[in-house]
Structure 1
Amino acid sequence: MFHPTRRGLLKTSLLTPALLTMSARATVLTTGDYPFTLGVASGEPWPDGMVLWTRLAPRPLEPHGGMPPKRVAVRWDVAEDERFTRIARSGTAFADPAAAHSVHVEVSGLRPGRRYFYRFIAGGESSPGGRTRTAPARDADVAALRFCFGSCQKYESGHYAAWTHVVAADPDLIVFLGDYIYETPPTDDGVRRHVNPEPFDLAGYRLRYASYKLDPLLQAAHATAPWISTWDDHEVANDYAGGLDEKNGDPVAFLRRRAAAYQAYWEHLPLRAAAHPSGPSARLYHTLDWGGLAQFQIIDDRQYRGARACQPPGLLPAHQQYLVNVLDCPDRHDPARTMLGAAQEPWLLEQLGTTRARWNLLAQQTLMAPFAQIDDKHPERGLALHAADRWEGYPAARDRIFRRWAEAKTPNPIVLSGDIHAFAAADIRHPDRPADAPIAVEFVGGSITSLYHHAQFREEAQRNQGFRYAENEVRGFGKVELTRDSAAVQFRGLADALDPSSNVSTIAHFEVEAGRAGIV
């Protein structure tokens, strides 16, 4: 049985002569401190490889992780067996202080559709072993894919029992949909406390990531399967929109903060070099194919979105909190308003028209299906409010995607969502023909820990067309079994997210049949 959190200790005699001769260019770590305190991870699998990640941090809550300001040589191994007796690929990477001594190795030359094991070696110490896999060959006839998806893991709001059950599910892939950290200031009313003040600079974000990644249950989830990831708002600041924070403050200062946050995000996740930030910009949107069975379209609805709709006049530049829920107004429907930006939106529409995959999974941040809310101050208005921070605040941009699915006949589109700290399942209909059969479905996979106490959420879901399920008081994740003929989706709910040993159960189960949009 694979043990993802096992620490394997190796002495300096295991360092190869080739690695030792590199000391002229990089320091060989000999501090005696164990450097792999933040675990290992893999991600973004392709047919002959994947990204492998670790970060050297013998004292992760100290400045620079307790590392010297020098490059350090790190050996990596990929093997066909857990004991590393059949090495498939190996090499040397360099942990650079400019990237917090993180390591991102883009492995190639492996066999498609295979499980592998990996490790890192530095300073005579071996990292915990990780388990990963390559994607199937492009257009391969793949029978099945099992993946789990989740989001929103606020450290203070609960423990990470959900990740224990993700590991037990033995997924081929884990899809994370944002809010990996929360930038919020520490509070005393949670089950545990953020270790540092609200971060605004690179040192602060690095410390926040390190404190999250010290959690052994999260480390185990990273070590059990490759991840694909996108961010939402809390990796930077609550409800930010493009270059605006939620209080519409100084955009220059905010972009400086965003640059620090994006850099720390890249340093702590198994991302390709192509996602490396340049200042306050980074390209996360891309596709990932799983043979001919599935294509994931992973998008970023934060970095490029326009300003929020229907805001009171004079809000800018008064540094006021933006209006979260708005009454409808013409601005909300302006076709020029964008959620994805001038480059990403046409890229996505092109992908939806050219994909040959049997299933097409839009991996993105927040609730996409139309969802109006009750105006509790004026209940006679009914469903009159629209969340300015969700797709509900950008309906023209949303409808362009819906229409593209229909006109391009995109095979079996499914939306995977996070952000709202709730489970939800909905049929999506054509915006111009709402009485017709559904054209797609959406599943919102709850939250790992983050809370959403909103007494009217279930009632609002019942009153919005297409919603089949809604639950906002249970934490957990989504599990998907994908075959050629169907997508079976389970919502896995924790008994108590405050308990690190909590049991889990299936609180809802859905099926989608290939060739027939809509939840069965």
Structure 2
Amino acid sequence: MPSVDRRRLLIRAAALAAGAMAPAGWTTAWARTRLPENPFRLGVASGEPAPDGVVLWTRLAVDPAAPAGGMPPEPFEVGWEVAEDEALRRIVRRGRTIAAPEAGHSVHVEAAGLKPDRPYWYRFTAGGHASPVARTRTAPSPGADVRRLRIAYGSCQKYESGFYSAHAALAADDPDLVVFLGDYIYEKAATADGVRRHPEEDCLDLASYRRRYAWYKADADLQAAHACAPWMVMWDDHEVSNDYGNDQDRSDPDPALFLKRRAAAYQAYFENMPLRAAVRPMGPDMRLYRATDWGRLARLALLDDRQYRGPRPCDAQSRGKFIPKACPERTDPARSMLGADQEAWLQAGLRDTSATWNLLGQQTLMMEIVTPDGRVSNDGWDGYAQTRRRILETWRDAGTANPVVLGGDVHCFFAADLALEPGGKPVASEFVGGSIASLGRSKEIVRGMLALHPDLKFGEGDIRGYGRVDITPDACRVTFRGVENALVKDSPVRNLAAFVVEAGETGLKRA
């Protein structure tokens, strides 16, 4: 029987073979040009802003609930255009491409030749229909003297658990950039709980993952958030399977079979996100960690803490998420949450950055959290304590300017200072931006966490929402924005709390 590595190579080979049938292999002569129904039911999006361009995305679907989005198994010609004005009178770039069934009828246009640090508007046409007009923007030139940046960030949008009022408010906040930190979909079958339902199937193969994304993307508030600004995205676990890491989840599947599932999940993720062709997955492998600069003002590094991590520590003795803090495996320097290559990439970037603000986008809560009975989670940074310590030491020793961590995953708002030892001198500050819809923790649990951890300055688990970051050369201001009631459609959103980190000083303050 082939080894896991051998099976992984076979899966990659199959993906390469499928690449011969990717959209680039089609010509417009083979593509249908008419559709009786609107194919832009999943909206449009942009992402990966650069000084000279941006990725434009759409995926054709006439019926989000139907297999393959209700699309015939044929290629379709798609037109696109970019303008300097919302009315699309000053067109600066246009072109045509193919939406092929082998790529889920998705389109990723890398629009280039644009001017830095300015807004643009774009739309697609296909089958005799036009998409909505959406706004994007380019990043500033390298080294540009940028005076402001607004980022909206969020995570964890379980469709069943609530409506997406947070996305509607996020769009109204007029961000320059949206950062999504994982759990864009949830992979389990529908349940009887919640206020609305997604498909009644577990996501296990490409068809089911595609259908789940279509179901989520049909939401009008999510489409509005995608249409307001370019996105930078990172996955967490539910884009594949709950609490997965590398080639395992908590059900202990056969690694080769799990890698096949992961390959399907990664392919669906790529098809549904505004990502560049350079990160297209090869079977179960997809390099998604990366960094982007916003002139001299800020650098944002996004980490993948799922794909490369070592096995969960002390898993055999606990068979659950929480393990004794004294577990020796979790402090083993040889173990990494990021993998050797990604960790080396990150360390180099932390040392050579010239940005005034250095943001680290990662999926979860980075500071150590210990339960009253002395346990920690083995699914996050606490299970890989030396990886966290190495990052903190590099920030300190390299003098990295103004490090700030953005996080998600835990379905709570948290603000914390990060130190090498509890109660020690802060090295960085951390802000976890709640969850868009997924349910959180009770007030009692959050109050207990605050009482046990003096470095944890704020916590809120009952309210859904997102974070907003306003950066200037002098300060980084973070505002937590909360939905009044995520179980009610179009619920109002208000400010929950605000914090400031001043340039050149460590430690957060209430604003």
What's the TM-score, normalizing by structure 2?
0.92
1:453 partner letter? R
Q: Which of 57, 77, 83 pairs up with 1:79?
A: 83
Alignment pair present for 1:391 and 2:388: no
Quote the Cα distance in structure 1 between the aligned partners of 2:258 and 2:177: 34
Give the partner amino acid of 2:496. Answer: I
Moved over 3 A (4+): 22-26
1:62 paired with 2:66, answer: yes
Partner of 1:449: 437
Distance 1:439 1:76 in 2: 46
1:323 to 320, 323, 328: 320
What secondary structure sits across from 1:456 in the alignment?
helix
The residue aligned with 1:264 is 268
Percent identity at matched positions?
53
Where 2:214 maps in the other structure, the secondary structure is helix
- Could you tell me which residue of structure 1 aligns to residue 420 of structure 2? 430
Distance 2:267 2:423 in 1: 46
In the TM superposition, 1:56-135 aligns within 5 A as 56-135=60-139
Q: Residue 363 of structure 2 contacts residue 408 of structure 2 at CA under 8 Å; is this kept in 1?
A: yes
Aligned pairs for 1:144-183 (under 5 A) are: 144-183=148-187
Residue 485 of structure 2 aligns with which residue? 496
Alignment size in residue pairs: 482
Equivalent residue in structure 2 for 1:413, among 391, 403, 428:
403
Write the deviation string for residues 282-328 of structure 1: whole angstroms up to 9, x where unpaired: 01000011111000001100000111112235x8xxxxxx3210112
How big is the shift at 1:281? Answer: 0.7
Alignment partner, residue 358 of structure 2? 360
Within the candidate set 201, 208, 214, 2:212 is matched to 208
Say yes or no: does 1:222 pair with 2:226: yes
Asked if 2 retains the 8 angstrom alpha-carbon contact of 1:26 and 1:94, the reply is no
- State the partner residue of 2:505: 516
- 1:342 alignment counterpart: 340
Q: Give the deviation of 1:414 after TM superposition.
A: 0.4
1:470 to 435, 444, 459: 459
Whole-angstrom distance in 2 between the partners of 1:102 and 1:439: 42
The residue matched to 2:316 in structure 1 has which SS? coil
Q: Which residue of 1 aligns with 2:6?
A: none
Q: What's the RMSD between the two structures over aligned residues?
A: 1.3
- Once the two structures are TM-superposed, the CA of residue 146 in structure 1 deviates from its matched residue by 0.7
Q: Distance in 1 between matches of 2:466 and 2:64?
A: 28
- Counterpart-to-counterpart distance in 1, 2:64 and 2:413: 34
For the 8 Å contact 1:28–1:122, the answer to whether it is kept is: no
Q: How far 1:436 moved relative to its partner?
A: 4.5
Distance 2:259 2:441 in 1: 32
User: Deviation string for 1:152-172 (max 9, x for gaps)?
Assistant: 000000000001110111111
Does the 8 A contact of 2:120 with 2:137 survive in 1? Answer: yes
Q: Helix, strand or coil for the counterpart of 1:394?
A: helix
Matched, 1:30 2:28: no
CA distance in 2, matches of 1:26, 1:128: 26
- Consecutive unaligned residues in structure 2, runs of 5 or more: 1-25
For residues 15-37 of structure 1, what are the alpha-carbon distances to aligned partners after superposition, in whole Å with 9 as ceiling and x for unaligned? Answer: xxxxxxx9753313312211111
Counterpart CA distance in 2 for 1:373 and 1:329 is 14
Distance 2:82 2:178 in 1: 20
Instruction: Please tell me the residue identity of whatever aligns with 1:468.
Output: K
Q: 2:305 aligns with which of 298, 301, 307?
A: 301
2:397 pairs with 1:400: no
**Structure 1 CA distance for aligned equivalents of residues 100 and 400 of structure 2:** 43
SS of structure 2 residue aligned to 1:228? strand
Q: TM-score, normalised by structure 1?
A: 0.91
Secondary structure of the 1:468 match is strand
Per-residue CA shift, 1:30-75, capped at 9, x if unaligned? 1221111100000010001110000111122222222222222111
Note the C-alpha offset of 1:482.
0.4
**Distance of 2:99 and 2:53 partners within structure 1:** 20
In structure 2, what is the Cα distance between the partners aligned to 1:126 and 1:361?
37
C-alpha distance in structure 2 between counterparts of 1:412 and 1:508, whole Å: 21
Q: Which amino acid aligns with 2:348?
A: E
Query: Which string of whole-angstrom CA distances, capped at 9 and with x for unpartnered residues, describes residues 75-118 of structure 1?
Result: 10000011111001111111111110100001110000010000
The answer (yes or no) to whether the contact 1:333–1:394 under 8 Å persists in 2 is yes
Separation (CA, whole Å) in 1 of partners of 2:28 and 2:45: 29
Question: Are residues 1:243 and 2:226 paired?
Answer: no
Cα distance change of structure 1 residues 339 and 24 upon mapping to structure 2, 3 Å threshold: closer
What is the match of residue 371 of structure 1? 369
Query: What SS does the corresponding residue of 1:360 show, helix, strand or coil?
Result: strand
* Alignment gaps of 5+ in structure 1: 1-21, 316-321, 376-383
CA contact (8 A) 1:374 1:456 kept: no
Distance 1:496 1:159 in 2: 9
Q: Which one is further off, 28-37 or 456-465?
A: 456-465
Q: How many angstroms does 1:370 deviate by? A: 1.4
Deviations 1:216-255 (A, max 9, x none): 0000100011100000000000000111011212111111
Q: Which amino acid aligns with 2:203?
A: P
SS in 2 for 1:414: strand
Q: Provide the residue aligned with 1:188 in structure 2.
A: 192
CA distance in 2, matches of 1:307, 1:190: 33
Q: 1:77 is matched by which residue type in structure 2?
A: E
Q: Deviations over 1:319-348 (max 9, x none)?
A: xxx321011211111111110012100000
